[in-house]
Amino acid sequence: MRFSWLLSFLLFAVIISEALAESPSSSAISVSPVSSTPSFTFPIREETLRNGLRVVLLPDANSPTVGVAVTYDVGSRNERRGLSGFAHLFEHMMFQGSQHVPRGGHFQLITQRGGILNGTTNEERTNYFQVMPRDELPLMLWLEADRMRALNASLENFENQRAVVKEEYRMRVENSPYIKGIMRGIELAFGDCWPYAHPTIGSMQDLDNAPFEEVQKFHRTYYNPSHAVLSISGGFDEKDVLELIHRYFDPISAHPSPPESPSLPLLSQKEPRGEIIADLHATLPGIWWGWSIPTGRTPDYAALNMAARLLADGESSRLYRRLVREKGIAVEVDAWVEPHRGASLFALWSKISEKGTLEEVEEIFQEEMISLARFLPADVEMNKLRLRARSSILLPLQLDLKRAVRVGDLKTLWNDPNPMKELEQLEAVTPSDIQKAVVNYLTLRRRTRVEIQPGPKPSEDSESLQTI
């Protein structure tokens, strides 16, 4: 493929940057700054149909496959109190058949012809995607158009998919270690910002009590062409694919605009929040720190994204090196950001080893946060960060399916499908940008702390149940 040169270059660059970061005398090594964002352009074409469907095309004449994604501008942030879990429920419902496709037919038609497919839901959007040999593009478009136009959203399908979601909740939440503790941390971090505080999978009580009429109303409101992005990437002719798109999607009626999504700006927090949680399925203690931070696609968010990478992206990162490799007091450590159109999230996580203690791990957490606030990252660290940012963004874009999914997300969230904008923003972050963002947002006063301890639920008078 025409992008294969990028894979070799980036992997080599990251290996070199890791080696430099590992060198005991790295501060004395003369390292040339990483060059500006590579000249790597995507041929992106955008169209909007009469019914409001937004179309993004990324042709690659040399590719033998085509990836197709349909992204609906609806996620858990659009749900109402007492009616949570609807967006995730429809991730399942959309595979239950449509006017011309029986239940399970979408999966069968794609997989029997060598394709793969799936769907995902988060706070901001729900997407459905598939990739197949390029000759099968008409089939993929017909399938997506049929369920957009005439989904079989029957009471029977609602009830059987509600049962599937409840089983998924039991497996992935109730019977999985640490998950409920982290979910509680996110809930506390967003506080009164309920659209981001509640989990995407929703409340099983809400689903049990959900009136079918409300489920139907949710579907009518959000799953229509004026609220969707169709993104296609891979081997196709633009003229031919536009003819197919018009043939299959033009007949779908336009819908009234749904209610405007709530404005969810960063909330003030005047004191730290936290809890200690007993987890029957945990075998080792865990610690989660979180902060609400500015919206994605802002300079402050980009700086905090780079701060998270500095702390825990790769084995030479600050926290991994100290906690796992040098001291052996943690078996895993992570730092990440989650971008939202409203307040976003910055999180730290570590699972404590049998050799370590929670106090030791948190002491190093705090030392590294103080270091970021007081001292500028070294040039060698910044070079490594920029190279890892390039690899994390550009390498997935070699795949037709990943490109289709990514540009669909970007068009939906920011009305800009160009994935290079994110990389440009990260490349522009300076050491002082990181320092200022940490000082402004990652403060003790704004921190949420959740400690997860193995074992049964303590008694009500147990000190470990206190809010901290």
Whether residue 75 is contained in a domain is answered as yes
Residues 451 and 341 both lie in one domain? yes
- Which amino acid, one-letter code, is at 227? H
Residues 102 and 233 both lie in one domain? yes
Average pLDDT of span 328-343:
98
CA dist., res. 336 & res. 346, Å (int): 6
The reported pLDDT for the residue numbered 179 is: 98
Work out how many domains the chain is built from and give that number.
2
Average pLDDT of span 39-49:
83
Residues 278 and 239 both lie in one domain? no
Residue 150: other Cβ atoms inside 10 A? 14
Whether residue 362 is contained in a domain is answered as yes
The reported pLDDT for the residue numbered 457 is: 59
Instruction: Identify which has the larger pLDDT, 43 or 107.
Output: 107
For 247-264, write each residue's pLDDT tens digit: 999 999 998 877 777 778
Does the pLDDT value for residue 79 go beyond 80? yes
Does the pLDDT value for residue 7 go beyond 80? no
Average pLDDT of span 288-316:
97
Number of H helices, E strands in the chain: 17, 11
Average pLDDT of span 292-302:
97
Residues 161 and 283 both lie in one domain? no
For 14-27, write each residue's pLDDT tens digit: 444 444 444 333 33
- Which amino acid, one-letter code, is at 90? F
Q: Which residues form the domain of 428?
A: 264-465
State the angle between helix axes of 358-374 and 299-312 in degrees (0 to 180), rounded to the nearest 10: 130
Does the pLDDT value for residue 269 go beyond 50? yes
Average pLDDT of span 259-274:
84
Q: DSSP for 29-66, please give it.
A: S--PPPPSSP------EEEE-TTS-EEEEEE-TT-SEE
- Give me the phi and psi of 414, to 5 degrees please: -120, 0
Does the pLDDT value for residue 355 go beyond 50? yes
Average pLDDT of span 232-241:
98
For 62-74, write each residue's pLDDT tens digit: 999 999 999 999 9
The pLDDT confidence band at residue 206, using thresholds 50, 70 and 90, is very high
For 373-384, write each residue's pLDDT tens digit: 999 999 999 999
CA dist., res. 293 & res. 442, Å (int): 8
Q: Do residues 314 and 15 touch, judged by C-beta distance below 8 A? A: no
Residues 310 and 392 both lie in one domain? yes
Residues 318 and 205 both lie in one domain? no
Instruction: Identify which has the larger pLDDT, 370 or 265.
Output: 370
Does the pLDDT value for residue 12 go beyond 50? no
52: left (phi over 0), alpha (psi -120 to 50) or beta: left
Please tell me the pTM assigned to this model: 0.90
- Give me the phi and psi of 54, to 5 degrees please: -90, 135
Q: Do residues 133 and 113 touch, judged by C-beta distance below 8 A? A: yes
The CATH number of whichever domain residue 368 belongs to comes to 3.30.830.10
The mean pLDDT of the chain is 91
Residues sharing a CB contact under 8 Å with residue 311, sequence separation 6 or more, in sequence order: 317, 318, 319, 335, 348, 368, 372
Average pLDDT of span 137-153:
98
Residues 142 and 227 both lie in one domain? yes
Q: Do residues 41 and 403 touch, judged by C-beta distance below 8 A? A: no
Average pLDDT of span 283-297:
97
Does the pLDDT value for residue 320 go beyond 80? yes
Residues 132 and 273 both lie in one domain? no
Average pLDDT of span 36-55:
83
Strands 45-48 and 54-59: antiparallel
The reported pLDDT for the residue numbered 21 is: 46
Q: Do residues 411 and 58 touch, judged by C-beta distance below 8 A? A: no
Residues 288 and 238 both lie in one domain? no
Structure tokens at 184: 């509680």
For 172-205, write each residue's pLDDT tens digit: 999 999 999 999 999 999 998 999 999 999 999 9
Residues 208 and 300 both lie in one domain? no
Does the pLDDT value for residue 51 go beyond 90? yes
Residues 336 and 219 both lie in one domain? no
The reported pLDDT for the residue numbered 37 is: 52
